[in-house]
Amino acid sequence: MTPARLRKHCLSLPGADCVVQWGDDQIYKIAGKMFAATDSACTRVSFKCSDEAFHVLVESGVGEPAPYLARAKWVQVSPAAMPPEELQMRLTQAYAIVRSKLTKKLQSALPPFDGGSLL
């Protein structure tokens, strides 16, 4: 997946934005909470995932525990390790997980999202 395609997908999610942090890392957030991160060249992508997805991705060798964030069930993958469509799905799931943890007040202030069944 190209950096432009990843950026376009993440920013297409309702209320998502991107900030540059920690040097040149692009951090994708919803209401100030991170759901994905990548370096500017998109050589590694880290994202929040469910407990089950974390174990599947790590145990299958597709991903590895994300540095500093593994205890919160973040995984780091090389975009070449999975088809672009699967990576997009995983990023959408990461967004949905983080969005679902926001307060009801914050959630109601965001544009609608019809991906709740992804969890």
- Record the tokens describing residue 94, joined without a space: 């990461």
Query: What's the pLDDT tens digit per position in 50-107?
Result: 999 999 999 999 999 999 898 999 999 999 889 999 999 999 999 999 999 999 999 9
The helix (H) or strand (E) run that includes residue 105 is helix 104-109
Residue 119 confidence (pLDDT)? 45
Burial of 114 (0-12, 13-18, 19+ CB in 10 A): exposed
Q: What are the chain's domains? A: 3-101 (3.90.1150.30)
Residue 30 confidence (pLDDT)? 96
Cα separation, 114 vs 49, in Å, equals 18
Q: Read out DSSP for 12-25?
A: HSTTEEEEEETTTE
3-state SS record for 41-84: CCCCEEEECCHHHHHHHHHCCCEEECCCCHHHCEEEECHHHCCH
Q: Which sign does the torsion angle of CA 90, 91, 97, 100 carry?
A: negative
The model's pTM: 0.91
Residue 114 confidence (pLDDT)? 80
